[in-house]
Structure 1
């Protein structure tokens, strides 16, 4: 069993009256896997969460913003991408006894309240992944890498190209390399 993340909120002091609220501020290191394979928040980088918990009849509504750093790489040229982001989330955490009916109704994952805690990590993960680009680019017009030398095309001079010939044409290339004298000699032998 893994250790709980710093995104677990104690709700023991949250009043049970509908409409009651609790404001929460968290400053924690990012848990592992917060993002996708291409782009996400590095594990251990700072995450600042400001949340308001509101008691509803069937659970607790969480409205929050999270300020975090995102790191990835351009899918075309592999250049590092770094930016700070603010992610907004609004999720309903259901009471455990009413969640089974909801899960069957909507056929989706339902966030549950613990007996004395509420874990923001799954909601933050869902909000961040939905906010991240599927194919991150350093620029929309990034030209990528040269297929021959592997250098970034944006860093190379205009008209960059390679003179390499396809080896399948080497016999024909040798015919082109013959001088007119070679042609005369070959005709004289005929």
Structure 2
């Protein structure tokens, strides 16, 4: 799930609220004068005041985002291409540890002129619009970062996660970490063996007349007596 502001559709942010000045993620293209072929390069550091991204990983609030863009006027609007780069902060989906990283977002978006054919034949969800010759890049970055960031981020590609028995991080548990797991089908037998008297020597039970060892001994003596009588 992406997060930014109130959660309203990102493509409508420019058309509903309208950017106010040439700063941050807002670009002023009035100097283009709707002349196709007019081009300008832009390098800017913008501060994002809201968290942009997914539940487990995002560009954090108040982070600096580097913009490296090319703006080109075309017949239907202004084509914006380039990259937006910024730090990310997240939580590993395996071991649940916080970690930081970096993301590069590649942008290629057309911002339609008011009353252009593109503006008249598309909906707000299909194309971005310009407002008063200003371009708001924030909804573009919001849409792009949702596709760029992983749904299940990892602190390292080979993260082993947590021990399923005790919950310790396997990265710090050591190679000899393990647990003796007793098959529940034998658990009661193990308990019975530990509670039974004696050392387990069959001869120990020979003093009990009902013990198999005692019965065998009595049978042997009886056969010996019968032989002597004969």
TM-score by length of 2: 0.68
SS of residue in 2 equivalent to 1:96: coil
Give the one of 89, 110, 133 matched to 1:92. Answer: 110
2 CA distance for matches of 1:71 and 1:85? Answer: 10
Q: Looking at CA atoms only, which structure, 1 or 2, has the larger radius of gyration?
A: 2
Among 58, 64, 71, the residue aligned to 1:53: 71
Match of 1:75 in 2: 93
Q: Can you list the C-alpha shifts for 1:58-80, whole angstroms capped at 9, x where unaligned?
A: 11100122221111122101233
**C-alpha distance in 2 between matches for 1:70 and 1:132:** 9
How far apart are residue 124 of structure 1 and its match?
Answer: 1.5
Work out whether 1:156 is the aligned partner of 2:173. Answer: yes
State the Cα deviation string for residues 66-121 of structure 1 (Å, max 9, x = none): 221111122101233322333221111112333241339xxx53111112310001
> RMSD of the TM alignment (CA)?
3.0
Structure 1: gaps (5+ residues): none
Give distance in 2, aligned partners of 1:38 and 1:125: 15
For 2:174 and 2:71, the matched residues in 1 are separated by 56
Higher strand share: 1
- Pairing 1:56-135 to 2, within 5 Å after superposition: 56-97=74-115, 98=117, 99-103=119-123, 108-135=125-152
The answer for the alignment partner of 1:11 in structure 2 is: 29
1:164–1:132 distance in 2 versus 1, CA, 3 Å: same
What's the secondary structure of 2:178's corresponding residue? coil
- CA 1:172–1:57 in structure 2 vs 1: closer, same or farther (change >3 Å)? same
How many residues are treated as equivalent by the alignment? 186
Matches within 5 A, 1:170-185: 171-179=188-196, 181=198
For the structure 1 residues 163 and 65, does the alpha-carbon distance in structure 2 shift closer, same or farther, using more than 3 Å as the test? same
Structure-1 separation of matches of 2:47 and 2:186: 58
Cα distance between partner residues in 1 of 2:49 and 2:106? 18
Assess if the C-alpha contact under 8 Å between 2:72 and 2:79 holds in 1. yes
- Is the helix fraction higher in 1 or 2? 2
Q: In the aligned structure 2, how far is the partner of 1:18 from the partner of 1:189?
A: 111
Distance in structure 1 (CA, Å) of the matches to 2:73 and 2:110 = 10
| 8 Å contact from structure 2 (residues 34, 75) kept in 1 | no
The alpha-carbon deviation at position 20 of structure 1 amounts to 0.8
Question: How much has 1:166 moved relative to structure 2?
Answer: 8.2
Residues 15 and 139 of structure 1, relative CA distance in 2, 3 Å threshold: same
Gaps of 5+ in 2: 7-16, 211-230
